[in-house]
Chains A and B, each alone.
Chain A
Amino acid sequence: MKDIRVLHGELAPGPAMTAFNAAHPEAGGIVSFVGKVRPDRYVEELELKHYAPLTLKGMEELADATLARWPLDGVLLHHRTGVMRPGDPIVLVAAAARHRRDAFEAAQFAMDHLKSDAWFWKREKRAGEWHWIEPRDQDHADLARWS
């Protein structure tokens, strides 16, 4: 079962996880990860843009690839767009499985792909000016370990 969303408003990890847990009574464990706008003294705002014809479709394909790779009961991918402030949640990934190792690995796989292989573009406002952010070498390395 997939729960895949591009959210243009607030991302509320608590209620989303409560619903995901309720949807998977058969699971032996659920791993979740919340990515937030990292508090940074120089970053005033962060904005994420997407491209509707590609972004949700790409996330659905990522969820399918995750489900094909591990024996999961379900996967959840929620990703925000729009303007956010430091501390705001950007992304929620969750994997429900019979056994914990599958859930941990699946959540990492999905998160590594969302970080540098999903159709989002991120920019930060520092000292009143916007700067586009490209993936770090570490993000590419995190992705490469799955191939």
Chain B
Amino acid sequence: MTVKLVFLGKLADLAGAAEKDVPGPLDWRGLLEALPGPLGEAARGEKVKLALNGTVLADKTALAARTGDEVALLPPVSGG
């Protein structure tokens, strides 16, 4: 009965883990409540995007995750 949170990049360092299970369902307010301190602040930042089950959300505050869903927190990317 949980939603899986996945932390990418530096957010995994802030979370102290790459993943965390939280009770579902989960909306934007619930997500912020589940993320203490600097992690929650980072999630609010405009550079951090959210993906729900592999689809990036155009508006992260419209998050509506159900039990069994996977929510990824995506900080700015850098490849190559």
Q: Which residues of A contact B (CB under 8 A)?
A: 35, 48-49, 51, 53-54, 57, 79, 90-91, 111, 114-123, 132-135, 139
Contacts and interface: CB of A to CB of B under 8 A. Distances in A.
Contacts of A118: 77, 79
Interface string B41-80: 0000000000101101000000000000010101111111
B9 interface: yes
Interface of B: 6, 8-10, 13, 51, 53-54, 56, 70, 72, 74-80
A53 B70 contact: yes
* Top-8 shortest CB links A-B: A53-B54, A121-B9, A120-B79, A115-B80, A132-B10, A122-B78, A35-B80, A118-B79
Q: Is the interface of B mostly helix, strand, loop or mixed?
A: loop
A40 B8 CA distance: 26
Contacts of A53: 51, 53-54, 70, 72
B51 to A, nearest CB: 6
B78 to A, nearest CB: 4
Contact of A132 (B9, B54, B72): B9
A31 to B, nearest CB: 16
Contact of B51 (A54, A79, A115, A120): A54
Given A121-B8, A134-B78, 13 more contacts: A49-B9, A51-B72, A53-B70, A54-B74, A57-B54, A91-B79, A91-B80, A114-B80, A116-B78, A120-B78, A133-B78, A134-B76, A135-B78
Contacts of A51: 6, 8, 51, 72, 74
